[in-house]
Each structure stands twice: as C-alpha cells, then as structure tokens.
A and B are shown apart, each in its own frame.
Chain A
Amino acid sequence: MNNRSGTIFSAERFSKKIVMFSYGFFLLFLFRDDIIKRYLHERYQPLTVGAAVFLILASVAYSSYVRRSGCGKPHEGRRLPPAVMLPLSLVFLLAPVIWGFVSPASVIGVSDGLLKNKGTFSATSAMIDPGALSKPHSSDMRVRLETPTGESGTFVYSPINIMELQMLLSGRGDAFAGERVAVQGFVYRDDGRPDGFTLVRYFIPCCIVHAVAVTMDISVAAASSPAADQWVTVYGIIRKGSPSGGDFVQTFYIEAEKIEETGVPSDPYINRSFMKKPFMF
C-alpha cells in the first residue's frame, strides 16, 4: 500500500507497534489490584513501570510506514519473512499477554509440585535486629484466647512472615525463643504427623517460576489440625528444638496457641524482605 509522500505501509512494522503497545499495556495492567506481586519480587517493579511507559510511547512513535529509498527498495536491512508468517508470529508473541489478561496469576500451592521440586528454604541470614520481635509495637496483634495449657487472656503477637522469621532465627534464634508470633501460610503434610504440620509460603526471589518454598514446623493439638493446602494464620510461641523431639537443637518450631483458617491472602507470596518492623506479614 503506497501513500502520497512516497512511503509504503509495512505490515511487519505495524505488527511491531501492536506487540510493543500490548506488552506495555499488559505490564501496566499487572499493577491493577497488585497482580504484579504474584509474578515478581518488588525490586523489579519500578523497572517494570519504566519499561511499560517506554514501550507504549515507542509504539506510538514508531511508524507503520517505511520510506522508499533512492533505489526503490524498503530499507529493512534484511530479508523480509514470508507474508504468512506475520500473523502466526503475532499470535505467538502475544500469546503470553493474552493468557496473562484472561487468567491473571493464580496462586500456587502444595499440589503444584513446586515444593517437592525445590526442597525447603530455611537456612539463610541477614542483618539481625536484636529487638525485632520485642513488644509492644503498633503493628502487633492482640488476640484474646485460652491457650492449650489453660492460660486465658489477651496475648500480643508479632506478625511476621516465615522467611523473615527464619532469617532472625538462623542468626540469633536463642534470643527469640519464647516470643509470641503470628505467621501465615498454607498447610503441608508429608508424613501424616498427628502433632503438627509444616507451614509453607513461597518466596519470590525474582519471578514466580523460581519461587522457593520457605517452611516452619508447627506443633499443634491433633484435634485442631487443619487440612492440607488450607491457608491459615498461626498464633504461637517460638520453641527451640524439633516438635517431635530428636537432636535438632539448632532448629526452631512454633507451638500453636490458635490456628485460624483463612482464605488466600492478598499477598500470597513473600516478595520483599525488610528485616525491620513492621514486617511483611
């Protein structure tokens, strides 16, 4: 197709415009309702916004017309692919965007196999704040309950995600034994332990495909033990050792005082780590 100014419409260039605009728009769309948190670690989010804006602007500025040269050939700099390939490659390139719009990031759980493929993540450390779990703090949770040992009253729990808790424990665990914490995650059972379960949340170090399972052992009265894959908030006390006894003196677990069954939280994955209060819960 020619126009008056001696330029030729290029379907390939038009396709590039569509692709750039679609990807730019899709990246911005992911920030709606914070869907982006289900894909990426938060440090990538500013770059993602920048890229989205750039792609949209570039798609607007990029011309679908190519100027005829002195020799009458379009200067694409390479051989053009056969015309039939264009719609096919457009579908191929846009498929992830279409899937992303149709089905924005579902939440992975035990049944998705990631846990068994990855093993568990429990031994890491970072800068430790010795007063990290000391109370009171405005973000602390006050819960009225009767504990399994018969105590009753209002108890104060530090809400913390299990990755940051593991980081604190691996650095100065002894200092935190006996502290009350509230942790979220889903239930994983691999050995039918009647006295407890493993609480799991996924940490996204870069993107969801490389999510790493972070775990914490929970000891609990058999009668109140929730089903596998159920999302829960556990209110309990940090204890040293293994819930089933044994010699693992360096490990810690949480003795549950209350387990609340919940739906999937708005932040199902741990995608940032502050190591200072208030923690990402």
Chain B
Amino acid sequence: MDKFGEFTLYMTGIIVETVPFITLAALMSFVLAFIPGSSIQKIFRGRKIVSIFIAAAAGFVIPLCECSIVPIVARFARRKLPLPVAVTFMVAAPSLSPIVVAVTSVAFAINPGIIYLRFGTAFALSVATGLIFLYLDRDGRLSGEPFPDEPAEMCDCAREKHGNATIDEKIKDGFEDAVGDFSRTLGYIVMAAAITAAVKVFVPTDIIATVGSSACTSVPAMMMFSFILSTCSDADAFIPAAMTDFSNLSKLAFLLTGPVIDLKLTIMHFAFLPRRTAFSILIVFPALVVAAVIVLSFFI
C-alpha cells in the first residue's frame, strides 16, 4: 500500500470509529435542550467542591469516550454548569468509563497493579484538576470568557423565544442543537483525523519508542507518544500493554495522558471551550500527570 493509501485508510478509520460517538453526543445535546440552564445552576450553586467529587465519580458509570465528551461538556457549561465541575467531568469520563475499565482489565490482566494505579490515579487527577480550575476561576476569569462561535448578539424576538419556549419549540431547538453540534464536531474530527493519520504515516514514532526505553526519559516520551497517537481512550490500554521494555510508571503516564490531552482533543478543546480554559487544560493536566508519577515513584 502506498503512503497516500495508508493515509486515507487511517483517516477514514478514525472517522468511522468517531462518527457514532459524536452522533451520541448530538443526541445528548438534544436532551439538554429540555433542561433549563437555571435548574443546572440551582443544583450546583454553593456545592462546587462536592460537585467536583460527584463529577469525578460519575466518570465510572457514564460510558462516553473523549471525542464525544468535549461537545457535551461545552453544551453543559453553556447551560450554566460551573466550569470547574464541567472540566472535572471532561477529565473523568473518558479516563474512568466502564468500557475503559473493562478493556484495561483485559489488556493488563497479568499486570493488575497497573489497573488499580490507572483508575485510582485518574480519579485523583480528575478531582485535582477540578480543584485547580476552581481556584483559577475564583474571580470568574475563566467562566466569564465567551465560548467560541457564541452568538455575539441575539435579537430580542429570539431571546424571548428561548426564554418561554413551548415543548414543540424545545424539540425543534434541541434538534437544531443536535444537528449544529454534529456538523461542527465533524468538521474538527475530520481535521484532527487528517493530522493524526499524517503523523502516523509520515512521522517515525519508533524514535519516541526508542527514547522512551531509557528510564529517565520514558515518562515524558510516553506522554508525548500518547499525545501524538491520539488513541481512543476505550482501547488505549492495548498499546502500552504491548510495550514490554517500558516501566510501569511510563505506561501509567501514557494511560493517564491520552484520554484527556492529545492532538485531536487539543484541536477540539480550542474549538469548543473558551480559549483560556482550553489553554489551562493543556498546561495543568500534563503537569498533574508528571507530579502524580513523581509521587508514585517513591512507592513503586
């Protein structure tokens, strides 16, 4: 197969895998149209720390992957879910979902320590990320920023309609939201799939694997590897499971990073979330992974 054939195969493969999930996310957007933003705000007002823990724990029961979670979280945040809670859920859901638990258990059945480490650390990192965002957003600096592509101004008749919508109008609005989210996400997924496929075909990732076999460079190398590969969180466990030369901590760094930060997700974060929030995730989360690995290195 020539390089172009490989490129198109991988690009189409990513899209075929992702489209069902973004369709699921679009359906979620439809459902959200029936939940007034004021209700969401009322539930979470004044209980942010407890909500962060609940959002992290919700990751264990909600089977969503990392591509579908970004538009859903953006839609929740637009409907007044406090930003730190939204970010916590965005970190937790793809890292802790039941599918990820099942697949990791199979891939690491002969090395069960990694399974407990992955989910224990991912839960702790989800909570820590939420708490850091709570601090960063203490003066509303993050949540006050507009979402990308947010309507700059809405005419009065539209605002009035959004406030007092009938069931029929809500169904129509939900359908519009769902189609809008699907089309928009698809655009970024196609772009991200093209970049990921190009990296896969043209960048020699075996260099990273070689660098990663050294003890001191293995953790950052595996994090970088995870970022470039943009593996689906539902199945990422099989890749480090195959790498017998790597330490458990570097494998853990791979497993913690991929579901939250990778090439395709970074594009989506900047497309769906306010710019400062997307930038903060890109800085805060890898730093937390490194910190977690350093702490764990004293015990493992």
Interface residues of A (CB under 8 A from B): 16, 19-20, 23, 27, 30, 36, 39-41, 44, 47-48, 50-51, 54-55, 58, 61-62, 69-71, 73, 75, 77-79, 89, 92-93, 95-96, 99-100, 103, 105-106, 108-109, 111-113, 116-126, 170-171, 203, 205-210, 212, 273
Contact = CB atoms under 8 A, between A and B. Distances in A.
A73 to B, nearest CB: 6
A54 B241 contact: no
Nearest to A89: B187
Contact of B242 (A58, A93, A120): A120
A65 B109 CA distance: 55
A195 B230 CA distance: 39
A207 B242 contact: no
Contacts of B110: 123-125, 170-171
A126 to B, nearest CB: 6
A205 B17 contact: no
Nearest to B206: A117
A119 B246 CA distance: 12
A124 B13 contact: no
B139 interface: no
Interface string B1-32: 10001101111111111011101100100000
Contacts of B180: 77
B40 interface: no
B209 A119 contact: yes
A62 B20 contact: no
A207 B155 contact: no
A60 B155 CA distance: 29
B6 A108 contact: yes
B103 interface: yes
Consensus secondary structure, chain B interface: helix
Given A78-B151, A209-B200, A70 B157 contact: yes
Contacts of A208: 9-10, 13
A32 B215 CA distance: 48
Given A78-B149, A170-B110, A58 B179 contact: yes
Q: Give the residue among B154, B201, B242 with the most A Cβ atoms within 10 A.
A: B242
A182 to B, nearest CB: 24
Contact of A79 (B12, B109, B152): B152
A2 B138 CA distance: 49
Q: Kindly list the 7 A-B residue pairs having the minimum CB-CB distance in the complex, ordered from nearest.
A: A206-B235, A205-B235, A207-B17, A51-B20, A121-B242, A208-B13, A51-B23
10 contacts: A19-B186, A30-B16, A47-B24, A51-B19, A51-B20, A51-B23, A170-B110, A208-B10, A209-B14, A210-B232
Contacts of B106: 124, 126, 273
A212 B9 contact: no
A99 B12 contact: yes
B196 to A, nearest CB: 7
B187 A124 contact: no
Contacts of A61: 175
Given A93-B186, A96-B190, A210 B24 contact: no
A71 B179 contact: no
B243 interface: yes
Contacts of B158: 69, 71, 75, 77
B164 interface: no
B38 interface: no
B109 A117 contact: no
Given A19-B183, A117-B205, A212 B238 contact: yes
A229 B236 CA distance: 27
Contacts of A70: 157
Interface string B205-216: 110010000000
B1 A40 contact: no
Contacts of A125: 109-110
A44 B17 CA distance: 8
A75 B201 CA distance: 43
B239 interface: yes
B69 interface: no
Interface in B225-250: 229, 231-232, 234-239, 241-244
B168 interface: no
B197 interface: yes
A122 B154 CA distance: 58
A109 B9 CA distance: 13
Contacts of A69: 155, 157-158
Given A54-B23, A205-B235, A99 B8 contact: yes
B209 to A, nearest CB: 7
Given A126-B109, A209-B200, 7 more contacts: A19-B186, A44-B20, A105-B12, A106-B9, A119-B209, A205-B237, A208-B13
Nearest to A95: B190
Nearest to B5: A106
Nearest to A116: B206
Given A50-B20, A125-B109, A112 B12 contact: no
